[in-house]
Every structure is written in C-alpha cells, then in structure tokens.
Amino acid sequence: MRSLSSCLVGLASAFIVLSASCSNAPPTVGSSGRSAEAPTGAVTSSAIASASAEADKSRAIENEKREEASRRTRFASLANDLSEPDAEFFSDNLISNETSYLQVTKSLAKRAKQDGVYIGVGPEQNFTYIAVSKPKLAFIVDIRRANLLVHLLYKAAFEEATSRSHFLSLMLGRAHDAANDGSPTDGVDAVLANAAKDKLDAATFKAAHEALMKRVQSYGVTLSAGDTKQLDAAHKAFFDGQFDLKFSLKQNNGRAYPTLGEILGAKSPEGAQEGFLATEEAFRFLQTMEKEHRIIPLVGDFAGDKAMPGLAAYLTKESLVVSTYYVSNVEQYLLEPKPWEAWKRNVKALPKDDSSLYIRAYLDQGKKHPKELKGHRTASVLQSMTDFDKVFGPKKASTLYEISTTNVLE
C-alpha cells in the first residue's frame, strides 16, 4: 500500500498536467476585474508537507514506544538476572548517615566524565551524585535486597511526581495539593516546607502507597510476598518518621544520626544546598533517568561472584565506561584476604579510563580523616580508580584509612 505522501504527490502531478492541457480556457475574472489564478501548486505543497510531518510524527511515536519497551525490558532483566540472594547487614537502608556527602560535589561536577556509567551503593545520596555527574546509565548495588526495594519506591515516586514537593508528598504518604507546589526556582527549604503543608493521615498514606505500588508492580522485577511486605514496611517507615526519619543500626549504639530533613537540606563546604532536591534542574534530570529506566538497582556484594562480574561483562559488551563509582565505606568490610582479592578482581574487570572516579566515605572510628570537616563524623573524598589499581592492586588488604587518604583529589 502506498503512503499518503506518495499519493498526494501523484495527485499533484496529475493536476498540473490537466492544468497545462486546459491552458486555452478563458481566465477566471475576480471582483477587481483582473485575472484570478488559483494557487494550486501552493495548496498542494502545503498538503504534502503536512502529510509528511504527520508521517514523521507517527514514526517518532512508534520509535519511542519501541525504545521504551527495550529500556523497560533491560531494566527488569538486569535487576532480575544479575542480582544475588539477600544478605544480612547490621543497619537499615532507608536514608544515609553521611553528613559529608556534599563535600565532593564541586570537584565531582568539574571532573566527572558525563555520559559514562555511575555505580553506587545505599539509598538517596546516590541521587545527588547522579545529578552532578550526569551519567548515561546508573546502577545501585547493595547486598541488602531491601535497598533494591526502596529504590523501586523512589523510582515510582519520581515517575508519578509533578513537582519536587509532590515527590516528597508521595514518599512521605501525604496528600498532594498543587497549590503547595511553589515555584521551580524555590530552594530545598521551601520545597520541604511546601510538602509539609499537605494533608497527612492514614487515608493519604493508603492512596500514595497504592499509586506507588501500582507502578512498582509494572516494572517487571520479580517480587515475592516477602518483598511486598518489605515495600509496605519501608514506605510506612517514611510515613511514620516524616522528615524526622533517621538512619539506624539494628543494635542501638547511642550515636546521633541526621534526620531525613537534615540530609536533604545539607550544605556543601561552600555553604550551598546542593542535594538532589535543591534545584528543579537536578530533580528533572533524575526524573527523566527514572522514566527511561536508566537507574537500575541490583542486589550484590562488591566482592561477590555474580552481580559485579556480571555487571562488568555487560558494560564491556555494551562498550560503556565507568565514570563514577561511589563505594562509600564498603571496603571497610572487605579487608580480610579472601574478600579483598575478590574486590580487586571485580574492580579490575570494570571498564574504566584515567578519568574514572571513586567517591569514598570515611567514618571516624577513633582516627580522623585529614579532610574531615568540623561538625561531621564522616569525610567524603574523590579519588582516581586507576590510581587504586596501581597502588593497591599488588598489595594485600590495607586499612580503610590508608585507602581513603592515598592520592585524594583536591
């Protein structure tokens, strides 16, 4: 079957031939008494252009549908196929306890190679690093399956939200009133205040949770009955804690940890609020990545035999290079000989170049990091991945202090 545009071209040609054969006919006289010639060529060209534009639009829509299906399939396949079984850990995974996470954002923005691959661990602090480093693809790898589930909730909230305050309302189980959205130029303090204005009760939580779970269940990630209960519990924890929600250990140690409100409103050493909700631009960048299924959570051990080797093989096959790897303080738990050698093996397998960066977090446990700032118990630093290979590749397990203080950038 011929396309609409080709049919119109044929019709236009026939009309021109007919016009030529009738050239001896008397001209049409307009009201002014002058000859009026019908602009047949102009009308036909406009129709052809319109039909061609419609055809292009239809092709673009079909292409986008295919790309969406492909991205969604990749998301589910990687999350399902690369993930390892759940592992026990001594803390929850709802929010970060690293008050220093903005310590590296200025340098990261300057040094990170955009359109690479981001790898990270843990909950929401990853969003800030992703927004700053602007990767093409991101993977959040954590040994706790609960962390994967929390990121599915975050993904659903990003996709559902119409604004930053709406995003927070969804995560906190509040109602959403668009009148409280504020302005796109609002800072994070105003965004948090706007979200707190929305109604909060059991009914609003139920509505928010149902909206998020409907999306979560559409992603193709295999969920057990236990996963569903964990998703319910995680979202309920945000609802119960609101902006006072804190990181916690399974055994209380008496330390004071920052609240969700303090984490989201944290300031860099330069005094700027640079978290992922601080600007409309950062939020919309993350929202686009989530809608395009380009932030993929995995269950995996950094020194394991499945998730990390599988991810390295996938990135190599796709000719993708790691630009930023946020390892937090995970190496602290890999310092025994066997996991240390497995960790080095997994790092070596990752495709990287001289611009590839580590973000490390050092937690003061009696010996302060030289970069630790006043008022913090953590220090966040930026280091070269290839420097790590050169310095620590040949060495036996070291200490986290040595690892996080060697060849620190800026």
Give residue 192's pLDDT.
97
Helix axes 202-216, 225-241, angle to 10 degrees: 140
Provide the pLDDT confidence category of residue 33 given band limits of 50, 70 and 90. Answer: very low
Residue 305 has pLDDT above 70, yes or no: yes
- Stated as kind and residue range, the H or E segment containing 326 is strand 322-328
Phi-psi region of 182 (alpha: psi -120 to 50; beta: other; left: phi over 0): left
Residues 311-338: tens digit of each pLDDT: 999 999 999 999 999 999 999 999 999 9
* Mean pLDDT, rounded, for 368-388: 94
CB atoms within 10 A of CB 24: 5
Rg for the chain, CA atoms, rounded = 28
Each domain of the chain, given as residue ranges in start order, spans 62-405
Q: Residue type at 378?
A: T
What is each CA distance from 138 to 46, 54, 71, 133, 318, in whole angstroms?
Answer: 45, 35, 13, 10, 14
Residues 144-164: tens digit of each pLDDT: 999 999 999 999 999 999 999
φ, ψ of residue 396 in degrees (nearest 5): -75, 175
Among 194, 169, 167, smallest CA distance to 182 is for 194
* Mean pLDDT, rounded, for 383-408: 92
Half-sphere exposure of 112 (CA within 13 A, CB side): 28
Residue 359, both tokens = 């973000």
The separation between CA 24 and the C-alpha centre of its own chain, rounded to angstroms, equals 70
Residue 23 has pLDDT above 90, yes or no: no
Provide the pLDDT confidence category of residue 397 given band limits of 50, 70 and 90. Answer: confident
* Mean pLDDT, rounded, for 28-55: 64
Give the burial class of 149: count Cβ atoms within 10 A of its Cβ; 0-12 exposed, 13-18 middle, 19 or more buried. buried
**CA–CA separation, 137 vs 319, rounded Å?**
12
* Mean pLDDT, rounded, for 332-346: 95
Residue 259 has pLDDT above 80, yes or no: yes
DSSP state of 29: B
Residues 172-218: tens digit of each pLDDT: 999 999 999 999 999 999 999 999 999 999 999 999 999 999 999 99
Give residue 398's pLDDT.
85
Give residue 112's pLDDT.
97
Residues 65-101: tens digit of each pLDDT: 888 989 999 999 999 999 999 887 766 779 999 999 9
Q: How far apart are the first and last CA of the chain?
A: 65
**CA–CA separation, 331 vs 105, rounded Å?**
21
Residue 25 has pLDDT above 70, yes or no: no
Percent of the chain residues topping a pLDDT of 90: 75
Residue 253 has pLDDT above 80, yes or no: no
**CA–CA separation, 175 vs 208, rounded Å?**
7
Give residue 203's pLDDT.
97
Residue 279, both tokens = 């600007």
Farthest CA pair distance, the chain: 103
**CA–CA separation, 129 vs 134, rounded Å?**
8
Give residue 327's pLDDT.
98
**CA–CA separation, 69 vs 202, rounded Å?**
35
CB neighbour list of residue 140: distance below 8 Å, 6 or more residues apart? 119, 120, 121, 122, 126, 147, 148, 151, 295, 296, 297, 298
